[in-house]
Structures are given as structure tokens and as C-alpha cells.
């Protein structure tokens, strides 16, 4: 089911995927916690994503409210993974669940639920 990509493609996609999901996680966590919260996970999300948000600050529109800025930045990583990487590799857009990181996670979830005996 998985395409035979060079291992570097998987490494790049995993890194970009972790960055994207960390940014999305920060937005989700911000629903329940303030950004200056002392909760360990919120501090980690803020610490790891603030440098990225700073890098993207020049192209971030001023009308986006602060708590949604990480989601805007995550959108760029999604676009890179969904459009730019396949184009660079010479493939057309591969479709949903074609990302190696998400494919592997969904495969593991599928195997887990199929192994449960009711």
C-alpha cells in the first residue's frame, strides 16, 4: 500500500508532519489553557512553536486573532506536504491519507482495533 520512496522523503515528511500537528495541538490546547499557563504540555507547545510563528510573522495577516495564528502556520506545512513535496518528487497530488506519517498512524490504529476480540 505504501509507495517506495527514498528514506529521506519519509524523514522530511515526518518532520513536517510533527511540526504541523504540534501547531494544531497548540491551537487545540489553547482552547482549554492560556498560552502563559504553567501546564507542562502547554509550555512545551508554546516553546517549540513560538520560533516558527516568529518566522512566519512577516506573512501572517494582522486580522488573524492570536490564538489562531499557529493554525495559519500549520496550514503552510500542510500545503508543503500535500502539494509541494509530491510535485518536487514528480508525482501528482496523492490524495488523503497518502502522507507517510498519517498513513502509518492510521495503519497502527486499524491493526489495534482489528486485534481486539469482542
Per-residue pLDDT at 92: 55
Per-residue pLDDT for 7 more than 90? no
Would you say 110 and 97 are in contact if contact means Cβ atoms under 8 Å apart?
no
d(CA 45, CA 70) in angstroms, rounded, equals 10
Q: How confident is the model at residue 96 (pLDDT cuts 50, 70, 90)?
A: very low
Kindly give, in sequence order, each residue whose CB lies less than 8 Å from that of residue 114, ignoring residues fewer than 6 positions away.
none
Asked whether residue 91 carries a pLDDT value surpassing 70, the answer given is no
Domain residue ranges of the chain, discontinuous segments joined by +: 7-57+66-115
Answer yes or no: is pLDDT of 9 > 70. Answer: yes
* Number of neighbouring beta carbons within 10 Å of residue 75: 13
pLDDT at 72: 96
Contact 106, 97 (CB under 8 A): yes
CB-neighbour burial class of residue 23 (10 A; exposed 0-12, middle 13-18, buried 19+) = buried
How many of the other CB atoms lie within 10 Å of CB of 66?
A: 9
Average pLDDT over residues 3-7: 70
pTM for the full predicted model: 0.76
* Contact indicator for 49, 96 with CB cutoff of 8 Å: no
How far apart CA 66 and CA 8 sit, in angstroms, is 34
Segment 52-72, tens digit of pLDDT: 999 999 999 999 999 999 999
Averaged pLDDT, 80-97: 68
The answer on pLDDT for 75 being more than 80 is: yes
CA–CA separation, 11 and 115 (whole Å): 29
**How many Cβ atoms from other residues are within 10 Å of residue 108's Cβ?**
10
**How high is the mean pLDDT of the chain?**
84
Amino acid at each position: 500500500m505504501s509507495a517506495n520512496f527514498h528514506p529521506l522523503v519519509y524523514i522530511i515528511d515526518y518532520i513536517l508532519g510533527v511540526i504541523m500537528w504540534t501547531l494544531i495541538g497548540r491551537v487545540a490546547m489553547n482552547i482549554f489553557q492560556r498560552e502563559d499557563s504553567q501546564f507542562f504540555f502547554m509550555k512545551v507547545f508554546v516553546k517549540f512553536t513560538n520560533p516558527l510563528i516568529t518566522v512566519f510573522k512577516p506573512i501572517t495577516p494582522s486580522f488573524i486573532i492570536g490564538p489562531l495564528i499557529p493554525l495559519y502556520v500549520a496550514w503552510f506545512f500542510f500545503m508543503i506536504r500535500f502539494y509541494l513535496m509530491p510535485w518536487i518528487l514528480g508525482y501528482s497530488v496523492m490524495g488523503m491519507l497518502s502522507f507517510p506519517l498519517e498513513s502509518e498512524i492510521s495503519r497502527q490504529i486499524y491493526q489495534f482495533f482489528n486485534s481486539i476480540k469482542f
